Structure 1
């Protein structure tokens, strides 16, 4: 079983391991519906997240906070939907 804070703590440790000065770029995969995208979440997904992904989404919220509190040169990606189908170009 994955710890409830794996994203938060993992991101913190990665940031701590980076050289100081914020020059090393890092890419972080967050979750759509957290942080700045919270208000864009549809009612259906809000309900789904509360019922089935409450702990995981809380962890992603904390991960966002760790990033924003850092001086890291980061890019946060919040995918809306992932698929293994071929790209559509949109």
Structure 2
């Protein structure tokens, strides 16, 4: 079961990391340009984006874990019959 988790989580984490790189750049650009219109400006710090990245990875790993557990504990005969 650990090898199944490693294979699937590595595959999904590659896709998630690519999407995070793209999304963080877009989010920073639009947030920065939006905040320039305010009279009192707040600084955009790196830890806000790092925290959101860690939360995304945590949620993804939790979701992957649940699906892997369901697949590992399921009886293949029942699944093939469609019950």
Q: TM-score range by the shorter chain?
A: under 0.3
TM-score normalised over the length of structure 2: 0.26
More helix by share: 2
More strand by share: 1
Pick the structure with greater CA Rg: 2
TM-score normalised over the length of structure 1: 0.24
